[in-house]
Amino acid sequence: AIPMMIFMPIIARWMGLSEVVTGAWLGGTIDTTGAVVAAGTIAGEEGLKYATIVKFSQNVLLGLAAFAISVFWAYRKKGDGPRERVSLSVIWERFPKFVLGFIMASLIFSFLLHPDAAKASGKVIKSFSSFWFNLAFISIGLETRFADLKVMESKKPFYSFLIAQGFNIIFTLIVSYLLFQVMGPK
């Protein structure tokens, strides 16, 4: 995310993209919301607005996608045998529970809290968010062994990442350009 956060706004400016297209491209490509906001800020005020809207739209759709994927994996046919009936408990087991917290927090801050209260609590919540986000990445780091990457016989996972990320960057740029430049932002 860090190289993309820095270089994508520069590349967009070099390409002569509008702030709106740049923001949509950043919001659709960069993974973390914080990095999207930082990159959007580099792009400009309009870029930040569109980057944030696109990223938040992705975040909202994450819950629906997670549920659909959970149901798919729970009902997936295995081998030549008959399709199994799957209980709700299996779907619940496979569903990523953090999505519920995200949806609940979004609903509370959107509809239950007064905007002034939501704004005032933002700094405190941001501190907690940063702490847990950092803790999560530290935990991932505890499991990551870069030495294993050196001794891997196949570099296919690395190439797969580069190809997929390259495709994502190019595809999202095309879609952003078509939607927000050719068809217009309004």
Is residue 17 within 8 A of residue 25, CB to CB? The reply is: yes
> Where do we find the tokens 């975040």?
59
Residue 123, classed as helix, strand or coil, is helix
- Domain ranges in the chain are 2-154+169-182
Residues 60-115: tens digit of each pLDDT: 787 778 778 877 877 766 666 666 666 778 777 777 777 788 788 878 888 888 88
Q: What is the pTM of this model?
A: 0.65
- % of the chain at pLDDT higher than 70: 87
Is residue 57 within 8 A of residue 39, CB to CB? The reply is: no
User: How far is CA 166 from each of CA 115, 160, 163, 169, 172, rounded to the nearest angstrom?
Assistant: 39, 10, 5, 5, 10
> Where do we find the tokens 């709106």?
20
